[in-house]
Each structure stands twice: as C-alpha cells, then as structure tokens.
Chain A
Amino acid sequence: MKTILIVDDAAFMRVSIKNMLSKHGYEVIGEAENGKVAIQKYQELLPDIVTMDITMPEMDGLASLKKILAINPSANVIMVSAMGQESMVREAVLSGAKGFIVKPFKEDIIVSALSNIQ
C-alpha cells in the first residue's frame, strides 16, 4: 500500500484529498500546511508519494519540491496547481516533479495521476 504525504495550506483541501485517496487504497501518513513543514515531515516519514500545493505561506511548493529532491532525487512529488500558474508548473516539471494536476479536480483525476507512479 502506497503511503502519502499531503501538503496544502487549506485544511479543506487536505481533508478532501485524504478522503479521495483513502478510498482507493492509499494510506495518508502525514499532512503539512506549508513547504517548510513538508520538508520536515518528508524526512521523518519518507512517504512514497507527496502531493504538493503550489501557493503556500512560509515556503511555497516549488521551493519545497526542490529541497525534497535534494534530499531524495527519486522522490515522487505531484504538484497541485491552480489555472494560471503555468510558469511555476513548468519550473516544477523542469526541477523534477513527476507530474501535476490542476484544481479544481474530480476524484478520478487525482487517482489517475497517482496510479501513473510506479
């Protein structure tokens, strides 16, 4: 069973994603509300997959992604973006994010994205 770390500053999003993923056999082992906490939790829990929101206080998803990849170059990080954040998504992809999904999304989208990760 794949383990997940959910990173998003909105509690609502964290709860939604947790609900969606739990139904499909993923185990949510941690949550973080900004990029800094995300790095701490990543080192602590070493999840299989990280869902990373882009806009967050303290440290945004892009910076957090880079730090996590510095720790583990093969980390599976999926960016969660809003429309209009094209350039940040591009940079994330160039830096090594495994992929991205766009808000708002339905359950099948996030599930499809995660299933792509081996």
Chain B
Amino acid sequence: MATGDSMLDTYLYENTQLLDSLESILLNCESSGHFSSDNIAEMFRILHTIKGSSAMMDFDSIASLAHALEDLFDYMRQNETHKSDYANINTLAFEAVDIIKAEMQKIQGGALPDIDTAPLINRIREFHSMLTNRGSNPTAECDEQARAADKDRCYEAKVFFNPDAKMENVRAFGLVKSLGGLCSSVATVPEDLLGELSAYTIAADGCTLYMASKEDVGTLEKKIRETFFIQSLEIRQLETQEAEKIFGPAEQEQEKAIQSVAQNFETAVAHRQAFMSVSINKLDMLMDLVGELVITEATVIRNPEVVNLNIESFDKAARQLHKLTDELQDLVMSIRMVPVSSAFHKMERILRDMSVKTGKRAKLVIYGEDTELDKNVLDHLSDPLMHIIRNSMDHGLESATEREALGKNPTGEIKLEARNSGSDVLITVSDDGRGLDREKLIDKGIEKGIIHKNRDEITDTEAYNLIFAPGFSTKEQVSEYSGRGVGMDVVMKNIRDIGGSVNLASGCGAGMSTTIRIPLTLAIIDGMLISVGQSSYIIPLLSIKNSFKPNREDLIKDPTGNEMIWLRGECYPIVRLHQKFDIATDVTNFCDGILVLIEAQTGAFCLFVDRLIGEQQIVVKSIPEYISRHLNTPTRGISGCTILGDGNISLILNINGLN
C-alpha cells in the first residue's frame, strides 16, 4: 500500500479507516431506522477530520464534499430530523462515502482525484437548506432544571494507570469500590474486571467509568485520585440525553441497565481504533525472524555433539529456551490472526447495494465472526465472498412476490458463518433462495461441451461444480454484477491460491450453500519427513491418509503401463518420487520402500518413497527467487523449503503437482 510518501500513506491509511467506520455507522443507523445522538456526533467528527486532512493535502474536492456532509450532520446534532428525512440522508451520505473511497483508491494508485463533486455537494446543501427552512421544533434539550439538587447526576470518567503499576484490572476494581460510598451506581468499560485479559485492555485503553451520584464533579475527582497510580483522568458530566441512554429510566434495575447499555455504547463506537497500527513489513520481518529462531533453536539443541552429552544444566536451559521460543512463536502467529468480522461486516454494504439494485429484500445473518484467520488469508477472502453473495442475490434469491407465493419470508436470508475445524477454518455462505437446479446445470454443461458423461452418471456434486467452469453461466441476461460467467472460476482460483477448497451443497428450491475450507496459516505446517536416496522431503501431514509396505500381489499395471496398487477395494495410481525428481536411490523395488497414500485436490494416489523418518513441525519458507527464476516452468511438485534441526535443507512437496 505504501506510496513512498509517508504523509500521504498516513493520510490514506487513517482516512480509509475513518471511511470504513463512517460506512459502518451509516449501515447501523439505516437498519435500525434511527440516528442516535452518539452516532450523529461520531459521524460528524469523522467528516470533520476527513475535511481537515484532505484540505491539508490539497485534495479540495474531497474536502468540500466532506464539509458539506459535515454541515448536514452538524445540523442533525442540534435539531430534530424526521424519519421521512432518513432515506435522503442515507442516500446522500452513502454516495459521498463511495465517491471519497473511489478518489482515495485513485490517489493510492498514484493518480489524482478527478471526480466532479459539485453536483453531489449541491444536492446535500439543498437538502440541508430545505431542513433549515422547514424549521424544526427543538426537542426537550438537556434541561438544567431537570437536574434538581436531589437528583442523581451522571458522569463519565476515563482513567489510565501508570503502566509500571500492573494489575490494572484490580486497581480499577478498587477504584469502583472506593466510589461506592459516593455513587448510587458505577459501571465500567471493560465490564469484566476479573479476567486477566481485562488488565491488558485497561493498560492499553484505560478504564471508563459511568457513575450516577449526587456529588459534584470535584468531589468525585478527588475521590478517584485517592487511588494509587492514576496516570491520567478525564471526567465530565453527561448531558441528560447521554445519561438517559446509559442509566435508563429510573425504575429499571440500575446495575443491569448500566452494564448492558455501557456495552452498547462501546459497540456503537467500536470502530474507533483501540489498537496500535504496525507496518506490515515489520510484522513480516518479525515472523521471518521468529521462524529462523525456531529453526536455529532446533539446530542448537539437536546438535549431534551435544545431544548425547547429558549435562543437566544444559538440558534445563534448553528446555527453558524451547518453552520461550514456543511461546514467542504462538504469540507472533496470533498477531497476524484477525477475526473475520471485518470482512464479514463489509458484506453488509454489498448486500444493501444489491438489495437496491435487484429490488429484492435480504438480510445478512452472521455467525462466528470472532473466528480468527491469518490477515493475509482474510484479505484474499473478501473478493470471493463478495462474488458469492452477489450471485446469491442475483440468481439465488427469488423476488419478494415469488417468495410469498412459495410460502417463504419475503425477505431473503443470507447466512455467513465461520467456524474452526481442526487446523482449518470453514466459511459458509448460504442463502434460502432457489438453490441449484441440477438439470439446468447439466443442460448448460452439455451445451458448452464441458461435461461428457451420461446424465445418470453425473453426481450432484459434479453437476454443482459445473458452475466453476470458465465461461459458465445459466443466466440469460448478463447483469453488471454477475452472469458474465467469469465469476465462479476466479473465486475457485483465489481460494486455491490461499490453499483452500470449495464445496457446494444445495436443495432445489431450498437454497444453496458454499463452504470454503482454508488452512489457518500457511507459515507453519505439520509435516512427515521422508527420504529418497540421499535427499529428504516433507509431505504435509494432513494430506497423508496412511502409509504401508505394499504386497507384491496388489501391484498391477493399467493398459497404458502405469503402475497402480489395490488397497481395500480401490485402485490408486503410484507415483515414484525418485523417478519424478530423478534421484539416485537403491530402493526401486516397491517392496523395499514405503507407499504413502495421499489425498490431493486432484484425487488420491500413492507416493513411493524410500522410508519414513518422522513427523516434524515445519517452518515453511518459499523457494528463493534465484532458484525459481531459472526454471522454465513453475516448480511443479515443490511448494517450499525448510531447514531441519540437523541443519539440512528439505524441500516441501506440493502434492497437487505430483500426480
């Protein structure tokens, strides 16, 4: 993403984040049918910032657009708007967001913003004046008199503790306890002060307290400062509107109301970055170094001269070293893991746009958004997800009238689900629309010459998988979004690129689901070390079904002379690794070596190797460019390399390239 100009990079990074936030809040407001004062204030602040930064960078068209929208939200901050205004507000705001996003993309690519924002700005300003002239009746504002002397006032305080003090969650706990005498209720964000995690959260983001008290702010401030190690304190009285949101109507049980609304408060402004941004380059370097560290640690500890020495102090130190490297490795791996929620929630905008364009109503239901994936992998998921959802909206879901006639809910449902499964993550997109029509697909497949089998011999899966064929599409009209038949095969390729696979399921008339299976990480895998001749290779453990010494009787040759083997009633082709890679070895007779049954995407086969050495955890390194550059074709059959504990290099087999 870096353009080389750090100021520009910061501008792009920050404002892209802000735009995403803005869009998210807008979607929230639109679906809830209500603009809360917090949301309005937040959006106002975002636009204000975008305006300022863009002006600094001389991107005047963006600045003026942000300015116009900022003014509109400023008006909304201070005046009531009617539900009938919301549609307009949403349309104008989403348009503005799209334009600014598009301009930022241009800037990122090295071009200059060139969209004429004047028409949209005019429309915004016209709408704004229409509202002003209409003259809205101010609602009951925060009424000073309402805060009678004997009523509870509401405060918000943000506290940071001295970082060297530690146990921040217990300190916050103590703080809450000390306020008990002065306040009728106190709530905190984070809500839970018991878990270890809360200590980290408070250390990073501070602790926010919401207090209901008859005391004045000075008294409360003095009390708070009695607690040790308060590094910074900001306290303010909340206005009636804000207070009401947090503390709710007086009759409700105070504690509960506070806690749940304090949570909503946090989620409403959740997109404000609570973390530190780190250059991806540094993270990659860190990961590389940790990978090297793991290898080097193994080299030291398994050094043949040391291994047999049996020195207790050395062994103890080695164990400690191993423990630390393990922890370090886990931590670094987890840094790159991000929850899928960001990618999932992006789909809401897609859904909304498709809803508008196709006239079909649909809602997005998300499960398992906290499931984590490597950031790199997640970045490659967005496009496929987008395309699958567009397909669902375009082809899958029926129109509202059709759905009603079928007895379905006129609003379609698109479900996005993520869950862990072993060392993979399963992402499922399903809709409750028409589903895949097997016969129609087969018709098209035959028409396009893609499938040649007998109709009855075609399995459902094979029929569904036809949609992945390049140039395939059963939709008569090509819409802007799908139907050109280029989509699903690109989806398949993108997913294969991240080491994943796609599975389709469907019930005719009952919707369709697409399940994507992706490995958690590409950097470290469990492998089986095997040897052929003097060389050793790694086979990814997950793809190994089993290994065995073959019986002479089970070995056969097919009509073309290919060697095959019978195993439990099935016939598998054999790939001689020594032949494939032209390695000198004494083991050429099947019965002297080992057959490894491997499950690849292209089918199962048996790999013939000399012997199995053992399971190892492997840090995957890609083939250095100076090697791959000299091969005419991409290195088939090799997906990477690694350094073993004894210092030798081992190549990692790409099983999909072997058969």
Q: Is the C-beta of A58 less than 8 angstroms from some C-beta in chain B?
A: no
Q: For the complex, what is the distance from the CA of A81 to the CA of B174, rounded to whole Å?
A: 15
Interface residues as binary, A70-100 with B (CB distance below 8 Å gives 1, 0 otherwise) = 0000000000010100100110011000111
| Interface residue tally on A, bucketed by range | 10 to 19
B177 contacts A109, C-beta separation under 8 Å: no
| A94 closest partner in B (C-beta) | B177
A100 contacts B167, C-beta separation under 8 Å: yes
Q: Is the C-beta of B226 less than 8 angstroms from some C-beta in chain A?
A: yes
B228 contacts A81, C-beta separation under 8 Å: no
A99 contacts B167, C-beta separation under 8 Å: no
Contact of B170 among A93, A105, A109, A112 (CB under 8 A): A93
B227-279 with Cβ < 8 A to chain A: 227-229
Contact of A109 among B164, B226, B227 (CB under 8 A): B164
With A93-B173, A94-B177, A99-B174 already in contact, the answer to whether A112 and B229 are too (CB < 8 A) is yes
With A102-B165, A109-B165 already in contact, the answer to whether A86 and B170 are too (CB < 8 A) is yes
Q: Is the C-beta of B162 less than 8 angstroms from some C-beta in chain A?
A: yes
Contacts of B357 in A (CB 8 A): none
Q: Is the C-beta of A116 less than 8 angstroms from some C-beta in chain B?
A: yes
Q: Is the C-beta of B549 less than 8 angstroms from some C-beta in chain A?
A: no
Q: For the complex, what is the distance from the CA of A86 to the CA of B197, rounded to whole Å?
A: 13
Contacts of B455 in A (CB 8 A): none
With A99-B228, A112-B228, A113-B228 already in contact, the answer to whether A83 and B166 are too (CB < 8 A) is yes
Q: Smallest CB–CB gap between A86 and chain B, Å?
A: 6
Contact of A113 among B173, B196, B225, B229 (CB under 8 A): B229
Contact of A81 among B164, B167, B196 (CB under 8 A): B167
Q: For the complex, what is the distance from the CA of A108 to the CA of B226, rounded to whole Å?
A: 17
Contact of A106 among B164, B171, B173 (CB under 8 A): B164
Contacts of A90 in B (CB 8 A): 170, 173
Contacts of A100 in B (CB 8 A): 167, 170-171, 174, 228
Q: For the complex, what is the distance from the CA of A99 to the CA of B227, rounded to whole Å?
A: 7
Q: Smallest CB–CB gap between A7 and chain B, Å?
A: 18
B162 contacts A112, C-beta separation under 8 Å: yes
With A99-B227, A101-B228, A113-B229 already in contact, the answer to whether A89 and B167 are too (CB < 8 A) is yes
Contacts of B162 in A (CB 8 A): 109, 112
Q: For the complex, what is the distance from the CA of A109 to the CA of B169, rounded to whole Å?
A: 17
Contacts of A101 in B (CB 8 A): 165, 228
Contacts of B169 in A (CB 8 A): 86
A86 contacts B167, C-beta separation under 8 Å: yes
Q: Smallest CB–CB gap between B632 and chain A, Å?
A: 59
Q: Smallest CB–CB gap between B570 and chain A, Å?
A: 56
Contacts of A93 in B (CB 8 A): 170, 173-174, 177
Contact of B166 among A94, A99, A102, A112 (CB under 8 A): A102
Q: For the complex, what is the distance from the CA of A92 to the CA of B174, rounded to whole Å?
A: 9
Q: Smallest CB–CB gap between B203 and chain A, Å?
A: 13
Contacts of A98 in B (CB 8 A): 228
With A93-B177, A94-B177 already in contact, the answer to whether A116 and B170 are too (CB < 8 A) is no
Q: Smallest CB–CB gap between A97 and chain B, Å?
A: 8
B562-582 with Cβ < 8 A to chain A: none
Contacts of A116 in B (CB 8 A): 225-229
Q: Smallest CB–CB gap between A117 and chain B, Å?
A: 9
A102 contacts B228, C-beta separation under 8 Å: no
Interface residues as binary, B85-118 with A (CB distance below 8 Å gives 1, 0 otherwise) = 0000000000000000000000000000000000
B177 contacts A102, C-beta separation under 8 Å: no
Contacts of A108 in B (CB 8 A): 164
Contacts of B164 in A (CB 8 A): 105-106, 108-109
Q: Smallest CB–CB gap between A73 and chain B, Å?
A: 13
| A112 closest partner in B (C-beta) | B229
Q: Smallest CB–CB gap between A10 and chain B, Å?
A: 20
Q: For the complex, what is the distance from the CA of A26 to the CA of B166, rounded to whole Å?
A: 24
Q: Smallest CB–CB gap between B190 and chain A, Å?
A: 15
Q: For the complex, what is the distance from the CA of A46 to the CA of B177, rounded to whole Å?
A: 26
Interface residues as binary, B155-166 with A (CB distance below 8 Å gives 1, 0 otherwise) = 000000010111
Q: Pick from B166, B177, B225, B226 the residue with the most CB of A within 10 Å.
A: B166
Q: Smallest CB–CB gap between A53 and chain B, Å?
A: 16
| B230 closest partner in A (C-beta) | A116
Q: Smallest CB–CB gap between B404 and chain A, Å?
A: 58
Q: For the complex, what is the distance from the CA of A15 to the CA of B622, rounded to whole Å?
A: 57
Q: For the complex, what is the distance from the CA of A105 to the CA of B166, rounded to whole Å?
A: 10
Interface residues as binary, B297-331 with A (CB distance below 8 Å gives 1, 0 otherwise) = 00000000000000000000000000000000000
| A99 closest partner in B (C-beta) | B228
Q: Smallest CB–CB gap between B380 and chain A, Å?
A: 41
Contacts of A94 in B (CB 8 A): 177
Q: Smallest CB–CB gap between B162 and chain A, Å?
A: 7
Contacts of A86 in B (CB 8 A): 167, 169-170, 196
Contacts of B167 in A (CB 8 A): 81, 83, 86, 89, 100, 102
Q: For the complex, what is the distance from the CA of A62 to the CA of B171, rounded to whole Å?
A: 17
Q: For the complex, what is the distance from the CA of A98 to the CA of B166, rounded to whole Å?
A: 16
Q: For the complex, what is the distance from the CA of A51 to the CA of B108, rounded to whole Å?
A: 59
Q: For the complex, what is the distance from the CA of A98 to the CA of B227, rounded to whole Å?
A: 8
Interface residues as binary, B185-227 with A (CB distance below 8 Å gives 1, 0 otherwise) = 0000000000010000000000000000000000000000111
Q: Smallest CB–CB gap between A51 and chain B, Å?
A: 13
Q: For the complex, what is the distance from the CA of A7 to the CA of B229, rounded to whole Å?
A: 22
Q: Smallest CB–CB gap between A72 and chain B, Å?
A: 18
Q: For the complex, what is the distance from the CA of A16 to the CA of B11, rounded to whole Å?
A: 51
Contacts of B171 in A (CB 8 A): 100
Q: Smallest CB–CB gap between A38 and chain B, Å?
A: 21
13 new A-B contacts at CB < 8 Å, known A93-B173, A99-B174, A116-B228:
A83-B167, A86-B167, A86-B170, A86-B196, A89-B170, A93-B174, A99-B227, A101-B165, A102-B166, A102-B167, A106-B164, A108-B164, A116-B225
Can you offer 21 A-B residue contacts whose CB atoms are under 8 A? A83-B166, A83-B167, A86-B167, A86-B169, A89-B167, A89-B170, A90-B170, A90-B173, A93-B170, A93-B174, A94-B177, A100-B167, A102-B165, A102-B167, A106-B164, A108-B164, A109-B165, A112-B162, A116-B226, A116-B228, A116-B229
- A-B CB proximity, top 10 nearest: A99-B228, A93-B174, A102-B166, A113-B228, A116-B228, A89-B170, A102-B167, A86-B170, A90-B170, A109-B164
Residues in chain B within 8 A of chain A (CB atoms):
162, 164-167, 169-171, 173-174, 177, 196, 225-229
